[in-house]
Amino acid sequence: MMTVRILLVSLLLSTNIAAQNRIQISPKPVSVKENPGEFKLSSETEIVLWGGSLKQEAVYLRDYLNQYFQLNLKIDSSGKSKASSRIVLNYDRLDHPFPGAYNMTVKSDEVYIGGDNPSGVFYGIQSIIQLLPSKAGEIPVIPNCEIQDSPRFAYRGVHLDVSRHFFPVEYIKRYLDYIAYHKMNVFHWHLTDDQGWRIEIKKYPLLTEVGAWRDGTLIGKHPGKGYDTIRYGGFYTQEQIKEVVAYATSRHVEVIPEIEMPGHSMAAIAAYPFLSTTPDKPKKVAKGWVNYGDYEYNNVLNPSDTTFKFLEDVLTEVMELFPSQYIHIGGDECSKRWWKESTFCQKLKKEKGLKDEKALQSYFIQRVEKFVNSRGKSIIGWNEILQGGLAPNATVMSWMGTSGGITAAKKKHYVVMTPGSACYFDHPQRANDDSTGLGKPVLIDSVYAYNPMPKVLTPEFQKYILGAQANVWTEYIGNTSKLEYMLFPRLAALSEVVWTPQKDRSFSEFKKRLVKQKERYEMWGINYSK
């Protein structure tokens, strides 16, 4: 009896282990059932569209299979294919509160993906990609299985600061690929800051002629060892921006542009000094960290009608380029020194009955919000937009811990969580990292352990937490291999935080799956931290 039992247990264990080896999807799906047998892809396999408007998803899958497995599959848009081996893309009605859910069944002659909409189908395809071998050129077989899956959060973001260091369009597209592989769905593009303005604005050509270039860059970690004298910069033309947005859309990633105000605006001010409180003093695009008030050229946007006219013009062009519902208006770390020293600002404060400079910041953001809302769009800003009173319809991105997010959610404002301790991927991956990073290490363990849903919020307010985001500030990230080193594999951990139900998450089990994910990283040509 005893031996039978041992045998049974070990049999069960070994099938379990086999299952783990065959199906290792990250982020972990909601439910997976493995079945015996497998689906073999061959040049005879067809991608068959039962649901309409899924051509883009089919092309994406075909191109992936072509790139990594040299298979050029036929796409049958009529849905009538009689092929004996097929991958069917279809719609299923799945009751999920927001897009992205899918069902998938793999049988020996058919892979069936039913998404709630094209993005659900796309995520099914991402799961297929992870069921395929993790080494290019191996025989493309997929284990038979049944998967039901849906995202935990609607907002699953990855940010990139292209101001401190610039990354060309071709690389941004790769970045978008990586975002999509992780079933993330927002790219927050930090396009302007003190160290460079990176988006062409037709009405204000100096923003890129002057503001996109700096005379040098800080050497080493702040306060650094002086500055080099290499002219540094770059920007995206409006045509390139459209190209990026289209590319992102085809990967079900929404691009949220960020135009910083009223602080972090030295590049714009260097181009148009009238935007500042000291227009007659010399201005320069910052070469390194702008130490709030101390940096000799530092200033912030003056809350004058001329500035608001400028911002409205800029935002008009920006809103035409980006279909996103959200425009990120920054709002963080605005030194109040300049407004305190400005007679214009003091007069304005009195006129408007504003208590202090924080109230002036609130006035600034609310005025911009009114404009953005009048164009049918919404603003999102860093948690400092809570200062002096939150703009009525604003969404808050909580970076200084989670308290700003909690406060905002309690006021029934939407929130994206991005606390430094879990979501700041510009921080080192480990203690004594050999590469310069900012602040304390953010270990993959802490990323994984993060739960964006604050326990203190009752269900009534929990619904305001839209999700979470990884931030990649690039003060010390000057090239793409370092960028990837900082992002991976922490992004795999965060993707599970925002995708997989909290109750199904286990770090030790995730780490086992990470081995496979790292093999995929090798295949995709990603430089990741070992």
Residue of 159, 252, 264, 427 marked active site: 264
Residue of 149, 161, 193, 357 marked active site: 193
Of the two residues 357 and 475, which places its CB atom closer to ligand TNX in the complex?
A: 475
Minimum CB distance to ligand TNX, residue 392 (Å) = 22
Burial class (CB in 10 A: 0-12, 13-18, 19+), 13: exposed
Site residues (CB under 6 A) for ligand TNX, limited to 472-511: 473, 475
DSSP character for 230?
-
Minimum CB distance to ligand TNX, residue 331 (Å) = 8
Residue nearest to ligand TNX (CB): 473
Of the two residues 190 and 518, which places its CB atom closer to ligand TNX in the complex?
A: 190
Minimum CB distance to ligand TNX, residue 264 (Å) = 6
First to last CA, the chain: 46
Minimum CB distance to ligand TNX, residue 366 (Å) = 19
Burial 18-39 (b: 16+ CB within 10 A, else e): ebeeebbbbbbbbebebeeeeb
Does the annotation mark 222 as catalytic? no
- From residue 13 to residue 52, the character string flagging contacts with ligand TNX as x (rule: CB under 6 A) and all else as - is ----------------------------------------
Residue of 313, 333, 356, 504 marked active site: 333
Q: DSSP 3-state helix, strand, coil percentages of the chain (rounded to 5)?
A: 40, 20, 45
* Count of residues in the chain: 530
How far apart are alpha carbons 448 and 510 in whole angstroms?
9
Minimum CB distance to ligand TNX, residue 332 (Å) = 4
Minimum CB distance to ligand TNX, residue 471 (Å) = 6
Does the annotation mark 333 as catalytic? yes
Identity at 483, one-letter amino acid code: L
Of the two residues 382 and 414, which places its CB atom closer to ligand TNX in the complex?
A: 382
Of the two residues 61 and 416, which places its CB atom closer to ligand TNX in the complex?
A: 416
SS3 label, residue 40:
strand
Site residues (CB under 6 A) for ligand TNX, limited to 378-437: 382, 399, 424, 426
Long-range residue pairs from 277-284, CB within 8 A, at least 24 positions apart, any chain: 277/302, 277/338, 277/339, 277/341, 277/342, 277/344, 277/345, 278/338, 278/342, 284/214, 284/215
Among positions 206, 438, 453, 523, the unique one binding ligand TNX when judged by CB under 6 A? 438
Among positions 333, 356, 504, 519, the unique one binding ligand TNX when judged by CB under 6 A? 333
Give the pairing type, strands 141-149 and 31-40.
antiparallel
SS3 label, residue 199:
strand
Of the two residues 235 and 473, which places its CB atom closer to ligand TNX in the complex?
A: 473
Of the two residues 169 and 438, which places its CB atom closer to ligand TNX in the complex?
A: 438
Q: With CA atoms as reference, report the closest residue to 199 among 227, 223, 163.
A: 163
Cβ proximity of 413 and 464 under 8 Å:
yes
The structure tokens 């659900």 sit at 120
Of the two residues 329 and 406, which places its CB atom closer to ligand TNX in the complex?
A: 329
**Which strands make up the sheet holding 110-115, listed edge to edge?**
31-40, 141-149, 102-107, 110-115, 86-91, 46-49, 74-76
Minimum CB distance to ligand TNX, residue 430 (Å) = 17
Query: Three-state secondary structure along 328-373?
Result: EEECCCCCCHHHHHCHHHHHHHHHCCCCCHHHHHHHHHHHHHHHHH
Q: Could you list the residues that contact ligand TNX (CB under 6 A)?
A: 332-333, 382, 399, 424, 426, 438, 473, 475
Catalytic residues: 193, 264, 333
